[in-house]
Amino acid sequence: MAAGGWWFALLFTTDPEVRLAVALGMAVCGALMPMAGWVFVLDGVLIGAGDGRFLAWAGMVTLAVYAPFALAVRHWAPDGATGLAWLWLAFAGVFMAARAVTTGLRARGTRWMVTGTA
């Protein structure tokens, strides 16, 4: 995904700015996809264990970490492809990293193994 963005963009548009946006966005997403995979696996484990209350609180912590970055991108990121890449970096990087930390720390312990506890 990270390396193929430019080639995929060729299939959908002839606009060079859109091609650049697709290539940069896919490079960021592709580079950070392994971390997202980790988060999705832990989400499934914790949901399956009935640890929804923790996941709700972890979502609030994640939002508190991510929101300033999203607002900074909105305020300071340039227009065009570079701004889109910064937005994807904030989401796929900061948001997913915050989720990886919260779910990873929870999975290291044993409290999630008791269904319905927080």
Burial class (CB in 10 A: 0-12, 13-18, 19+), 107: middle
Whether residue 102 has pLDDT greater than 60? yes
pLDDT digits (tens, 9 = 90+) for 36-57: 999 999 999 999 999 999 999 9
Please state whether 50 falls in left (phi above 0), alpha (psi between -120 and 50) or beta. left
pLDDT on residue 70? 95
pLDDT-derived band at 117 (thresholds 50, 70, 90) equals low
Query: Considering the entire predicted model, what is its pTM?
Result: 0.84
